Structure 1
Amino acid sequence: MTLEEISRTRCFDGQQLRFRHRSGTLGCDMQFSVYLPPQASRAKVPAIWFLSGLTCTDENVMTKAGAQRYAAEQGVALIAPDTSPRGEDVPDDPDGAWDFGLGAGFYVNATQEPWSTHYRMYDYIQDELTTLIAEELPINPLRAGLMGHSMGGHGALVIGLRNPEKWASLSAFAPIVAPSQCPWGEKALGHYLGDDRDAWKAWDATELVRAGAAQKPLRIDQGEDDNFLAEQLKTPLFEHACADTGYEASIHYHPGYDHSYYFIATFIGEHIAFHAAHLRGSD
């Protein structure tokens, strides 16, 4: 087994697990968390992947969202990768800022030095980690949904829209829907991909919809009191792209809710039920 088990805890009759492994794609050791529902003791189960946001690790959603209860009820696994490569040799933001570098991989394949050696989170999620987990854990790789929060919402939408054959359903909490048009995204894409803004479009969910992305079941939840909504998240841009192209997306605004995990915890059960319904029909 190529996975090193770090921890194992019983939870809602399933198992909350954390693993370490060597990533050839990222050139460093990586950690990720998995919740296996009780049904996984008898057969391979569908999985929902959760991609987290800026500054987070694989542990945030597992400890803050209260998702395991719903996953156990639905019989689905939850998989939470880390948000960036890690290690002494992995470069960080030269100014020490929190919105780039370590904890902020943006789920792209970097093409610019010094980032291109390690910052290949798209290939890591889409290829390496999905393959490794399918080989080592009781998870059915043909029944997978993808969701995320903020930067991770961007990642979930982009990875899912670019690979519709692999992901049965997509959802996001407060996603960065147009990174090529917001400060967080412009900084990250500019560093990772260079100055050619046309190259950024392949990593922008709004641009992918406008370019004719295949229809997938897609849900977004956004708090109206999210202080990042206007400047960084820009949900209306994605809505307009969907309206202009006829792409069907279920987008929900919630008055009084902000960008925090309290918001995620409130609606995580609905997201897991949304994915579970589509995963049951994806054999």
Structure 2
Amino acid sequence: MTLTQVSSWKSFGGTLSVHDHESGLLGCTMRFAVYVPPQAKDGPVPVLWYLSGLTCTWANVMEKGGIQEHAARHGLMIIAPDTSPRGEDVPNDEAYDLGQGAGFYLTATQDPWAKNYKMDPYITDELPDLIAANFPAADMSRQGIFGHSMGGHGALTLHLKHPDTYKSCSAFSPITSPARVPWGEKAFTAYLGAPSIAWEQYDATELVKERPSKALLLIDTGTADNFLEPQLKPEIFIKACEKDGQRLDYRLREGYGHDYYFIATFMDEHIAHHAKALKA
């Protein structure tokens, strides 16, 4: 599995690098970023995956999230994948919330999406194999996952499905019940077809009813988030966690929105949350 390095910078004593590779699973060239902290020179370090939201790429969190400083302090490697398959031959849609940039971290079963849109096994299998083969400092026995908005949805669902792989989980402004909100209804109908049990397998609220994890989930959402009521609806997920025994620290942050000013403000607390769990 060959990587092509696109760029590299020294940052907070570590290294941020961007790489391309040919994905046999997705049938296209994929790009991702890796931050290797300074502690990696002394041996393997825990791995923390960050999944971005609609329209985003690896660049959003690495350029605007302030993540490297905190990862360097706690000694965590950060992996930032893309949010969908990309390329001229990959199906797309003119809308921002479907197609390229909007993979929803699922495996599509409907045409024309099914050939390329297989983002959950890309995140859980293909890309981790690539990381393990090319970054010897990555301790794949200690992995956590978090994300923003659509990426928060991805982080929660992948953690709940793979709690032994992703030992820690958090999210900023996640879509916690996509089967019940316009973003999710649109994407799920296109990618998965009519409402069915397949929808439930990509809905954190439904998953937590079936299989609550032992981890403490940390979630931050801003009270001034324009998407809070129409798309996020945190109260549905909070009630499900309370009923089914999922430990949850869900914090509503007064006056914050759905943006990277908000994410950067509380990034240190999320990195500390993962460091505590992964270094226990």
Report the equivalent of 2:219.
Answer: 220
Aligned residue number for residue 35 of structure 2: 35
* Alpha-carbon shift at residue 214 of structure 1 (Å): 2.7
1:126 has 2:124 as partner: yes
Q: Name the structure 1 match of 2:25.
A: 25
CA displacement at 1:64 relative to structure 2: 0.2
Other structure's SS at 1:220 match: strand
In 1: Cα distance, 2:198 partner to 2:212 partner: 17
AA aligned to 2:60 is N
Gaps of 5+ in 2: none
How far 1:199 sits from its partner (Å)? 1.6
Greater mean alpha carbon deviation, residues 270-279 or residues 215-224: 215-224
In structure 2, give the amino acid aligned to 1:118.
Answer: N
- The count of corresponding residues between Structure 1 and Structure 2 is 279
Q: Post-superposition shift, 1:181?
A: 0.2
Amino acid at match of 1:197: S
1:201 shift after superposition: 0.2
1:116 partner SS:
coil
Task: Supply the distance in 1 between the matched residues of 2:128 and 2:235 (Cα, whole angstroms).
Answer: 32
Name which of 101, 111, 114 aligns with 1:113.
111
- What CA distance in whole angstroms lies between the structure 2 residues aligned with 1:33 and 1:7? 9
What are the ranges of 5 or more consecutive residues in structure 1 without an aligned counterpart?
none
> 1:73 aligns to what?
73
Q: CA offset at residue 260 of structure 1?
A: 0.3
Q: TM-score, normalised by structure 2?
A: 0.98
Contact 2:212–2:244 under 8 Å retained in 1: no
- TM-superposed deviation, 1:165: 1.0
Show the counterpart of 1:250.
249
TM superposition score normalised by structure 1: 0.97
Q: 2-side partners of 1:29 and 1:167: how far apart? A: 26
- 1:168 corresponding residue in structure 2: 167
Distance across 2 between alignment mates of 1:49 and 1:109:
19
User: Which residue does 2:55 correspond to in 1?
Assistant: 55
Q: Which residue of 2 aligns with 1:98?
A: 96
Q: Give distance in 2, aligned partners of 1:197 and 1:261.
A: 34
Q: Distance in 2 between matches of 1:217 and 1:24?
A: 35
Name segments (4+ residues, structure 1) moved above 3 Å.
none
Q: What do the CA deviations read for 1:38-69 (whole angstroms, capped 9, x no partner)?
A: 11122121111100000001111000011101
